[in-house]
Structure 1
Amino acid sequence: MRVLVTGGAGFIGSHFVRTLIADGYPAFTGADVVVLDAFTYAGRIENLDTVRDSPRLRVERGDIRDPHRVAEVVSGVDLIAHFAAETHVDRSITGAADFVTTNVVGTQVLLQAALDAGVGRFVHVSTDEVYGSIDSGSWPETHPLEPNSPYSAAKAGSDLLARSYHRTHGLDVVVTRCSNNYGPHQFPEKVVPLFVTNLLDGKKVPLYGDGGNVRDWLHVDDHCRGVALAAAKGRSGEVYNIGGGIELSNRELTTRLLAAVGAGEDMVERVPDRKGHDRRYSVDWSKIRDELGYVPRRGFGEGLAETVTWYREHRDWWEPLTV
């Protein structure tokens, strides 16, 4: 089997690749892996250092918006795990164009190439942010899409395109929607690595608004395992939410990060809230649990401690990114 991982040099995609090469997903033991990555600011070849010498791995530089390049790479592929995307909400607020072209147009290019090449399955990796904000309860996969940022709107558009290629063309598509990821190798613009690296450098951390925005936290290893389960056993045309089962306000998360680094409350700086800041995300992941046997395995306390330790021990990885 040959698996194409788009965005395979990014935070989540590279974890999926490293685990594939280590035969960590039983359904894909021995699979050859092709990485397609544009190597923009968040895609780093260093994220693949531990598997670069594997004869089962091939790394290709290319933009998913380029149909000729995509067609070349997709040829002979059995499964596409599509992680490639622009993902940072703050960047989408100040400049939405790259989010629309990469997340929407790029996904359409990939879907068409998969259809033309006869790819067996296309797993489209998405986000809980497409649902919008929820005051109480949790979103099932059938909830209407009500995105509130340019980022989430572009991801919602790509979700609908993926669905359309299944319904119109019969392409074997599965969509996953995850909650907030954390773990090693995450680019330090996202809240966990941003706060950790700031604190390790003795800098204050910026807490938006009243700190009451709530997110469900999911370790990258659990997320990737959920994607692998969906790829192996998910029903064609279905959407699967992947959650972590730990909801925290940004204030509560900040308190845990301060404790993990050994910093005091004086290291918190209140900043004006983000435009259109969704108040709460919460996904109902009972479908993937009941159908595919998914449950998160990484406890948040343990996972966060390991993540902080990784950043403490890998300054050479993140220091050039924070200049």
Structure 2
Amino acid sequence: MLKIHPALAADATTRPVLVTGAAGLVGVPLVRALRRGGHTVVAVDDGSAGTLGRLAEFLPDDGVHVVIADVRDGISLTSLMREARPWAVAHLAAKHFIPECEAAPGAALDVNVLGTQRILDACAVAPPKRFLFASTADVYATDDAPHAETSLVAPRGVYGTSKLTGEHLLRDQAHRLGISGVVVARLFNVYGPGDPHPHLIPEILRQVTAGETRLSLGDLSSARDYVFVDDVADMLSSFLASTVTGIFNVGTGVATTGYHLVRLIGDVVGRNLVTEVDPARVRQVERKTLCAAPDRLVSAVGHPATSLRDGLAATLAATTVVPTPAGVTG
């Protein structure tokens, strides 16, 4: 186990936050947001998603300590918690790409359920004041209407089931551990720079940045609530800094179909994008609509600030777009 920098350990003035999954899509922007808020950060990741290099930006920062560790390694986590004694924990680490979870359910449950229990076990040696658990909108029952936090939960797949189990573990054990401030953030469809998985937006952008104007995609008729990753990070940081507790949907309240996404991205890059269905990309089980009712979120920390078009433009700006040859319109 790496030694924690003295400035990060048990310093109430900087309110240290331990972030698991710190190299992930949400993890890196959350570390940035926490640093802007004056927190020191212990950034934990095992590198299994191939994104560990994203943490390199924090190496010159004495306020961030990077630790390579697996959330299933209870001995290492307990040692880390005892040494760092964080004021708060943000538990983001998970297997969350649904096709991978469905293909290897045991591995998903191992990380998402056992890993969460290991984090809770480690908290027993130095209970944090605040604990944020990144859950998912996939816990909700299928319904075309926007989901409130009180909506029926009935996940249909292993990912949603694993996250709902994590919520139950936290709910049932927080009081025993002496954690007084618990927030469960049910994330809707988060997008932005740095997503290593072929979700719909990254896949569209991958094909567009390769110069394609005819895109091979799956079912574009389903609608999702897309929320920009920097907005998500700011809201998670705000949850930790506040005194709010409970379950919060993190979404915009607007559902957008895949067809509309393609049109928006085409507008941003100045191309007429044509789509065709690749049967291999069509999921066997697919919700038609998944959208948040974000009223509780707005009351607690505000509404996501970034429009979908601006968020897509910012995501594209982080990549290299291949110009369309003269005279080619799709």
Query: TM range, normalised to the smaller chain?
Result: 0.7 to 0.9
Q: Which residue of 2 aligns with 1:320?
A: none
For structure 1, which runs of at least 5 residues remain unmatched after alignment?
A: 315-323
The 1:183/1:70 distance shift into structure 2, 3 A limit, reads same
Measured after TM superposition, the shift of residue 271 of structure 1 is 2.5
The 1:205/1:100 distance shift into structure 2, 3 A limit, reads farther
- The farther-off stretch of 200-209 and 33-42 is 200-209
Matches within 5 A, 1:1-323: 1-21=15-35, 23=36, 25=37, 29=38, 31-45=39-53, 47-75=54-82, 76-136=85-145, 138-167=146-175, 169-172=177-180, 173-203=182-212, 205-209=215-219, 211-236=220-245, 238-271=246-279, 273-290=282-299, 292-312=300-320
Contact 1:214-1:281 within 8 A present in 2 as well: yes
Measured after TM superposition, the shift of residue 262 of structure 1 is 4.0
Q: Residue 255 of structure 1 aligns to which amino acid in structure 2?
A: R
- Give me the whole-angstrom Cα distance separating, in 1, the residues matched to 2:113 and 2:131: 15
The 1:281/1:229 distance shift into structure 2, 3 A limit, reads same
Q: Residue 107 of structure 1 aligns to which amino acid in structure 2?
A: T
- Deviations along 1:137-174, one digit per CA (max 9) or x if unpaired, are x1111223211121111111111111111355543321
Contact 2:183-2:244 within 8 A present in 1 as well: yes
Structure with larger Rg:
2
Contact 2:209-2:321 within 8 A present in 1 as well: no
Measured after TM superposition, the shift of residue 244 of structure 1 is 2.3
- Give me the whole-angstrom Cα distance separating, in 2, the residues matched to 1:99 and 1:188: 15
- Give me the whole-angstrom Cα distance separating, in 2, the residues matched to 1:99 and 1:249: 27
Measured after TM superposition, the shift of residue 246 of structure 1 is 3.2
Measured after TM superposition, the shift of residue 131 of structure 1 is 0.8
Q: Which residue of 2 aligns with 1:317?
A: none
- Give me the whole-angstrom Cα distance separating, in 1, the residues matched to 2:33 and 2:163: 25
- Give me the whole-angstrom Cα distance separating, in 2, the residues matched to 1:74 and 1:285: 33
Measured after TM superposition, the shift of residue 280 of structure 1 is 1.1
Contact 1:14-1:48 within 8 A present in 2 as well: yes
Q: Report the 3-state secondary structure (helix = DSSP H, G, I; strand = E; otherwise coil) of the residue aligned with 1:49.
A: helix
For structure 2, which runs of at least 5 residues remain unmatched after alignment?
A: 1-14, 323-330
- Deviations along 1:199-221, one digit per CA (max 9) or x if unpaired, are 21135534323x21110010011
- Deviations along 1:35-70, one digit per CA (max 9) or x if unpaired, are 11010124322x123322101111111110111011
Q: Residue 218 of structure 2 aligns to which amino acid in structure 1?
A: Y
Q: Residue 304 of structure 2 aligns to which amino acid in structure 1?
A: P
Q: Residue 41 of structure 1 aligns to which amino acid in structure 2?
A: A
- Give me the whole-angstrom Cα distance separating, in 1, the residues matched to 2:258 and 2:47: 30
Q: Report the 3-state secondary structure (helix = DSSP H, G, I; strand = E; otherwise coil) of the residue aligned with 1:176.
A: strand
Give aligned-pair identity as a percent: 25
- Give me the whole-angstrom Cα distance separating, in 2, the residues matched to 1:234 and 1:294: 15
- The alignment's TM-score, normalised by the length of structure 2, stands at 0.86
- Give me the whole-angstrom Cα distance separating, in 1, the residues matched to 2:298 and 2:274: 41
Q: Residue 232 of structure 1 aligns to which amino acid in structure 2?
A: A
Q: Which residue of 2 aligns with 1:319?
A: none
